[in-house]
Amino acid sequence: MKRSEIKRRPLSDTVIANLEAELKEYRELDGNGLYIRVKPDGNKSWQLRYKKPNGKWSWLGLGGYPEISGQLARKKGKELLDDVSRGENPIITKQERKLQELEQNNATFEILAREWLDTKVNTWVTDTMTRNKGALEKHIFPIFGKRLYTTIKPIEWMNLLKGIQQSQGIYEQVNRVRAMCRDIYDFAKVTGRIDYNPLEGIQKYLEQGKKTNMAHVDEKELPTLIRAINNYPTMDVRMGLQLLAMLFCRPSELRGAKWDEFDLEQGLWNIPEERMKKRREHVVPLPKQAIAILTELKTYETNSEYLFPSRSDKSKPKSDTVFIMALRRMGFEGRQTPHGFRHIASTLLNNRGFDERHIEAALAHVKNGVAGVYNKAQYLQDRANMMQWYADHLEEIADQSIIQFKKVK
C-alpha cells in the first residue's frame, strides 16, 4: 500500500509489511518518536528520533523489519527514550542492553566457545587446555566474544584471521585458532543450534606458514649443547635439562612430574594418562644416569610433590618458559627448543639402527584403537636397553669444558 493510504498509528504489522517502496528513501511515523524507514529496494528498518542533551535532534537505528516487529520496536524505543529522560546516552545503553540480552540467552561466541572447552577437559592435558584457551582469549574473544555467534559472517572470520597473520606473522598459531573456532561451530551444529559452519573452507584461503619441526641442533653440535647443559649454574634447571635431553619426553610431562610417579628401585617413571597428550598411561624406563640425577634431586628438600616446583608457589610446577630461558642463556636461542630434544633422539636412534617401533613407543607415539592399548606396555625391556645406550652416548660425548653464558636482556 502507499503511505498516503495510512489511516491509523501506531502502524499495524500488516500495514508495515505492505508499505510500498518509492524512488527515494522515506520515513513514516509510527508514534512517540519511532519511525519505519523504507528504502527504494524495499528494505525496512526502525529508527528512533530523539533529542540529545545539547538540544540537537538525532537518529538511532533499532534494527530491521520484520526481524524487529512493531511491538518489539515500540518497547525498545520506550526504553531508550526513558534513558534519554534520565540523561543517559541511548547509544551506550542500547549496546549494554543488547550484550546483556545476548549473554542471558547464552548466544554469544564466547559462551559457546567456553561450553565447547568444557567438553575437552577429559581430552586435553592441562598445558594444552591453558595454551588453547589463552589463544582464544587473546585473539578471538576481544573481537567476536560478545557477538551473537549466528551473525558472524565468513568474510568477517576471514578478515580477522588474515589480519592476525599479516600483523603478527603467526601462521601455525592462526591455523590452530581457526581449527578450534571451526570445531566450536561444529559443536553448535551437532547440538542443533546452527545449520552451517561459517568457517568451513576458510583454511584454503589463508596463508600457510612453512612447516618446521621444533628447533634442534644437528648431531655435530650435540656435544656442545650437552656440555653447556652439564655446566649450567642453576642446579634444578640443569638437572631438568639433563633429564629432558636423556629421556626425550615432552617438556610439559617433565615440568609437571610428581615424585609419586617414580619408582627409582625399579627404574621406572609412570606418567598417568591425564598428563599424557594421548590420554594413555606412559611408562619410561630410566637409565642409571637418570636415576642418579633423580636421587640427588630428591635430597634437596622442597616440601613439594613436584620435582621442579615453582619458587613462588610450591603447589605448582615451574613455568613453561624455564627451560626455554635456560637454552637462551646458553646461546641456543632459535637453534634448540625443549621439545627439540625429541627430534634429536628420534633422528640419532633411527640412524643408529634401533627398532622404529621401540623409538615410537619411547616417544609415546601410540597407535589409536585396540592396537595402541595392546602395545602400550610392550617393548619395555628393549626400550630400557635403548634408553641406557642413549644416556651412555650423551655421557660419552660430554666433557668438562666451561661454557660462558649470555645475559638475557
Residues with a catalytic annotation lie at: 250, 277, 339, 342, 365, 374
Query: Which grid cell is 17?
Result: 509489511
Listed in order, strand segments (DSSP E) in 155-286 are 262-263, 268-271, 282-285
Rounded Cα–Cα distance for residues 185 and 200 (Å): 9
Q: How far apart are CA 365 and CA 64, in angstroms?
A: 54
- CB 391 within 8 Å of CB 290: yes
The amino acid at 233: P
Q: Is the peptide bond before 40 cis (omega within 30 degrees of 0)?
A: no
Q: Name residue 61's beta-bridge partners.
A: 47
- The three-class DSSP label of residue 284 is strand
Q: If DSSP codes are grouped into helix, strand and coil, which group holds residue 177?
A: helix
> What are 303's three cell numbers?
616440601
> CB-based burial of residue 330 (10 Å sphere; 0-12 exposed, 13-18 middle, 19+ buried)?
buried
Quote the cell numbers at residue 158.
Answer: 576471514
The answer to whether 28 touches 38, Cβ cutoff 8 Å, is yes
C-alpha cell at 329: 642463556
